[in-house]
Structure 1
């Protein structure tokens, strides 16, 4: 190609205003006449778009006008398209396909991409007067390889470099350092880059509001300590696959919110899929998409949210209720670290935390008192999971939790925070409230079904504070009063004594 002149053509320009018969043919004749000269190479990007382009009733399209010149060897032509478009359009037109010699352009390696960045850095330094160190370039390549799996080298690394230079210009800096690169990267992925800080925040949150038992919490955190850094033996897998069964299944929503908020920067980074709807073998199409030609082929699915936010929590609810073929598909996805949709696109799970819930009965192995045989219980749980979900699926599960956290800290929060705050507010109105133990137990029983403290506060507002407001109206003429509140026989009971009677 040395000394050749490459001319890029756009099909949309050639077909513009070519509504009359003969206009497109005349333009193509002139174009092919010029392209047939020595040293001229035509380049057509998105070549699949020439199929059907400019076709009117009784006329032909660009592809048909181009084929004779290609067959005779009159012109040299380079065309580009993606694998998907090649299969969908070019392969379905054998006459056009055989005119070209397919050459698949492979993605650059990390080392090759670094060389591209080195060359681009010198050009940016001349244009923008901003220097980028070798250390930053190496960091950008590693970051792009680790976190931007849905994009390709060198594009994703080049994009990062250009954004770093642009950020330095806005800050009136002449040199891009690691802190600048981390700031740009954090904005791009939308989550903190400090892994230690993220894991510490998760530990503090689970300690403040325990959802799992201390043993399960520690196992979860220890696993994430390794996997979120990509230092496990199979980094392509999800960071963790966690199964919640029994009473632990009730806290899946809140646990997902805490992990999403602390690890991934936002509580909204959750993809929730209810598998109870996937009861037929064909229902897997609702997960990966319908085959080409079927209704729903081009529709966006919940799993496609991972293309925009691959760093998130994925909740698969009711995995026991779906068809075994769907579970086999998920087991393969957990093993490989990605799921391939009906259009052939890989959707990566490598940077996700997967939370599963299932209704699996477990025979209690508890002994007298508060002790239990942990090994015996764990083996019983594993056997039950294998029986219901299948052995292949069970192998992909890292942690199984079937017992929720003890309620000691929740009880302390209810007594010392929730009820104490209510008492404080009504004391200002002249009502001294004392809470019977039955109220605390009633609130504890409902805390298992609510996702967090905020939900419990809201629930208490609707069920307790409303009654207290009505009671305040009834006793307004007798204030100040002392009020003992009990919960018996499914309702609240108020024992009132005027202050002078105490």
Structure 2
């Protein structure tokens, strides 16, 4: 039984019992680890004494209070403490005042009681002691007695050895520090005396370090544990969507290897990226590419008997060897089929991927490959032999919280590049807005691109402001320059007067500097240019929102005065085009306002509405008016591109579902995308108009259920298309019969019932008919059912004025004006009014009575550019045309005569 007693001048003494000679054990804070002083100082007193006695005598030993030691030495094992104690004894025996690294070497040799000697090198302590004395020139000194208590501090070099040992232990995933860790730190120090001793003993420090690493791995295996971090590094393949950080993970691993923050089996490794294009470049002759790949494999798998060490001193570059190379292949799917030497695509198959298979199978090639899910499915699933040689690792898209941390780490880099400052709000906005409005890309790539472009735009705007300031300074009048000169002269006179009036002492020197600074004109041209140049631009959340809007076409920035005015007056703007449908206008404008303010559900479309009513009352026209007045103006697009209109009469067959989401594999048109999904994917901020929805096949409704509830749809290629920023409007003629019958039965023209009661009863009849036609799960996902009112004759007159304005605009493009009398309008209304068909007969009447008559007159030469046509009725009630000579049209551009 062994007992080891340690005390220190800086901590209370303690007596600790350790049973089992040679047994490695982790010590408590009251352990003999107090024998060694940590990095930072402290003198240690250590003495070892063998005590033999009974168990009763050991139990009778007096108890001491807990010993407070440094956290580093709490992790020292019993063997490590013995090695430290032995090194202090060796230093005292050689007459040295401090424990140097070569004393630590002697302590490690003395502690290793293996029959094979120190780290299986055959070196014994007596031989090592003689070599050490010869190296330092102290061969005649006697050794101190074994039981003598010594007081020898540690030198700075020895403390660095302990620091390196702690780093090795942490990087290997150990929660203890053994003599092997101290040995690794000692060999890494590259002490001249220690190297001289090892050289005289005929041993190689590389072999000793390799044996030390083997022992540490054996200790970990005995405990049933593996190093933390990369627990089982082997050939890996990372496949995941683009932009989530596959390449960055490989770069991060290389950085960890360079910093030493890796397990033991990665110590000294280096990661090299394979450039496939450069490997194939210039390979003209057959066999030249194969020779290059074979040479590459031979160089990578070549091993060196010397183990490279991790160097903690950054000024010393580590020496790498070919056997320590880890090959990183980005976009590994490009290897499959690259450089193929067979006939056609199914020839001999001597491509790069097949050349790498034998080395991968034997484990001679350490490789990290990255690819996307789509490319992995397209290439690797077909080549099972290549796929089984890789261990797939799925890299998930980081969460928004993790993406914010990533952007905070990159913020300083982009600030230095763009000469700007990113606020914390801009970082959060980049992650949130990109996650919500940019659905076809992944975090953190899309958020990084947002701050990158926002910084670039901020720098460009700063440059424009600088140029404007320079131009404004150069454009000043001479009087303004003379005023600035006089102001500067007056300030100098005030400063000189203060200097003469007041005496300055040493404490007033700073004030004197301030007085002199007063003489500098802050508004002078030089100061203005310097401040504008040195001051970095500030990128906030509004700049990020502006870039997001440019990318997606979705207005996400703060409401401007013009847009606020547009939203407030949206009801009136829609009523100008859609007559007599105030309920429908109110429902659709509320949905748009709710979405723009940000109060709608972010996981659903802006609104899902169904417009019911008889034909020709303005259901489709209201959707077009909304697209033109708001979606088109905010999204800076035309009416046609602001609306996705699908005539559902084209989807009456069951197989027409594939037209919406794309044809399945094996069918004609696969890969071209669907009509609906492609249109929304390219323009996510739009109005989706499903015209005459009741004519579609019932299977179409099953597709729409997912869109209405979850706000997304997956096409035939597996791409997820977001409908969260679309306004979906369905028009239907279901209930038109009930509306027509309701007008007669309920009595819209009577004086007893009010208009609202009549409309409510009519809406109830329409809802009953809708429930009979559509399934409940579809109706339950619709936000609001809007029933359009039938058009009255007075409303037809207002609609006629809108149609005539459109005709005037087309005729005005020819350089001819048009005026229509009231009698002519009455004639058109009389021919075009039909309660059952709405406003469409009115449009036909305008075509026949106005457009056809004017076309004949222009072709016959009665009117030429510059004339104004007056359209009226004659005595028989037929249309007639006349020229208004006193009213002419001023043309801005010459118009060719017909």
Structure with bigger RCO (C-alpha 8 Å, 6+ apart): 1
Deviation at 1:206, TM superposition (A): 0.9
Gapped regions of structure 2 (runs ≥ 5):
1-252, 259-268, 302-321, 343-347, 463-535, 750-754, 864-868, 883-898
Preserved CA contact (<8 Å) 1:211 1:255: no
Deviation at 1:380, TM superposition (A): 2.6
Deviation at 1:279, TM superposition (A): 3.3
Q: For 2:373, which of 83, 94, 102 is the aligned residue?
A: 83
Cross-structure match for 2:357: 67
Relative to the length of structure 2, the TM-score reads: 0.48
Preserved CA contact (<8 Å) 1:249 1:357: no
Q: For 2:550, which of 187, 192, 209 is the aligned residue?
A: 187
Cross-structure match for 1:176: 539
RMSD: 3.9
Relative to the length of structure 1, the TM-score reads: 0.82
Deviation at 1:87, TM superposition (A): 1.9
Cross-structure match for 1:161: 451
- Higher mean C-alpha displacement, 246-255 vs 197-206: 246-255
Q: For 1:289, which of 657, 662, 665 is the aligned residue?
A: 662
Cross-structure match for 1:202: 570
Structure 1 462/414 Cα, relative in aligned 2: closer, same or farther at 3 Å?
A: same
Cross-structure match for 1:462: 851
1:52 lines up with 2:361 in the alignment = no
Deviation at 1:94, TM superposition (A): 1.6
Cross-structure match for 2:726: 352
Cross-structure match for 2:612: 245
Structure 1 203/144 Cα, relative in aligned 2: closer, same or farther at 3 Å?
A: farther
Deviation at 1:404, TM superposition (A): 5.2
Q: For 1:369, which of 719, 744, 748 is the aligned residue?
A: 748
Structure 1 433/200 Cα, relative in aligned 2: closer, same or farther at 3 Å?
A: closer
Deviation at 1:130, TM superposition (A): 1.0
Deviation at 1:292, TM superposition (A): 2.4
- Higher mean C-alpha displacement, 209-218 vs 283-292: 209-218
Structure 1 41/450 Cα, relative in aligned 2: closer, same or farther at 3 Å?
A: farther
Structure 1 residues 433-480: Cα deviation after superposition (integer angstroms, max 9, x where no partner): 55252234446779833999xx99999862454467699949xxxxx9
Looking at structure 2, the residues matched to 483 and 95 of structure 1 have their Cα atoms a distance apart, in angstroms, of 85
Deviation at 1:286, TM superposition (A): 1.7
Structure 1 91/65 Cα, relative in aligned 2: closer, same or farther at 3 Å?
A: same
Looking at structure 1, the residues matched to 665 and 791 of structure 2 have their Cα atoms a distance apart, in angstroms, of 51
Preserved CA contact (<8 Å) 1:317 1:358: yes
Cross-structure match for 1:124: 414
1:335 lines up with 2:709 in the alignment = yes
- Higher mean C-alpha displacement, 39-48 vs 7-16: 7-16
Cross-structure match for 1:401: 786
Deviation at 1:162, TM superposition (A): 0.9
Structure 1 285/429 Cα, relative in aligned 2: closer, same or farther at 3 Å?
A: closer
Looking at structure 2, the residues matched to 74 and 429 of structure 1 have their Cα atoms a distance apart, in angstroms, of 86
Structure 1 181/330 Cα, relative in aligned 2: closer, same or farther at 3 Å?
A: same
Preserved CA contact (<8 Å) 2:686 2:725: yes
Structure 1 135/320 Cα, relative in aligned 2: closer, same or farther at 3 Å?
A: same
Preserved CA contact (<8 Å) 2:646 2:689: yes
Preserved CA contact (<8 Å) 1:238 1:352: yes
Preserved CA contact (<8 Å) 1:249 1:402: no
Partner-residue secondary structure (3-state), 1:150: coil
1:378 lines up with 2:743 in the alignment = no
Cross-structure match for 1:220: 588
Looking at structure 2, the residues matched to 451 and 337 of structure 1 have their Cα atoms a distance apart, in angstroms, of 39
Deviation at 1:353, TM superposition (A): 0.8
Preserved CA contact (<8 Å) 1:7 1:41: yes
1:26 lines up with 2:291 in the alignment = yes
Structure 1 residues 306-338: Cα deviation after superposition (integer angstroms, max 9, x where no partner): 222111111223332222222211222222211
Cross-structure match for 2:840: 449
Alignment of 1:431-442 (within 5 A): 433=821, 435-436=823-824, 437-442=826-831
Preserved CA contact (<8 Å) 1:220 1:399: no
Structure 1 residues 265-300: Cα deviation after superposition (integer angstroms, max 9, x where no partner): 232222222332333333322221222233211114
Structure 1 residues 382-427: Cα deviation after superposition (integer angstroms, max 9, x where no partner): 23223333222222222233425856566347559958x97xx9xx
Paired residues, what number? Answer: 481
Preserved CA contact (<8 Å) 2:651 2:697: yes
Preserved CA contact (<8 Å) 2:542 2:558: no
Preserved CA contact (<8 Å) 2:577 2:622: no
Looking at structure 2, the residues matched to 272 and 430 of structure 1 have their Cα atoms a distance apart, in angstroms, of 33
Deviation at 1:259, TM superposition (A): 2.6
Deviation at 1:368, TM superposition (A): 1.3
Looking at structure 1, the residues matched to 441 and 729 of structure 2 have their Cα atoms a distance apart, in angstroms, of 26
Preserved CA contact (<8 Å) 1:241 1:353: yes
Cross-structure match for 2:402: 112
Structure 1 residues 124-158: Cα deviation after superposition (integer angstroms, max 9, x where no partner): 22223211211222222222222112221111111
Structure 1 54/212 Cα, relative in aligned 2: closer, same or farther at 3 Å?
A: farther
Looking at structure 2, the residues matched to 226 and 350 of structure 1 have their Cα atoms a distance apart, in angstroms, of 13
Looking at structure 2, the residues matched to 11 and 451 of structure 1 have their Cα atoms a distance apart, in angstroms, of 69
Partner-residue secondary structure (3-state), 1:171: helix
1:411 lines up with 2:797 in the alignment = yes
Structure 1 414/487 Cα, relative in aligned 2: closer, same or farther at 3 Å?
A: farther
Deviation at 1:111, TM superposition (A): 1.7
Tell which structure's C-alpha radius of gyration is larger. 2
- Higher mean C-alpha displacement, 383-392 vs 344-353: 383-392
Partner-residue secondary structure (3-state), 1:124: helix
Cross-structure match for 1:271: 644
Structure 1 205/22 Cα, relative in aligned 2: closer, same or farther at 3 Å?
A: same
Structure 1 residues 210-258: Cα deviation after superposition (integer angstroms, max 9, x where no partner): 25721222222223333444533x4322111122333367645433333
Looking at structure 1, the residues matched to 370 and 441 of structure 2 have their Cα atoms a distance apart, in angstroms, of 18
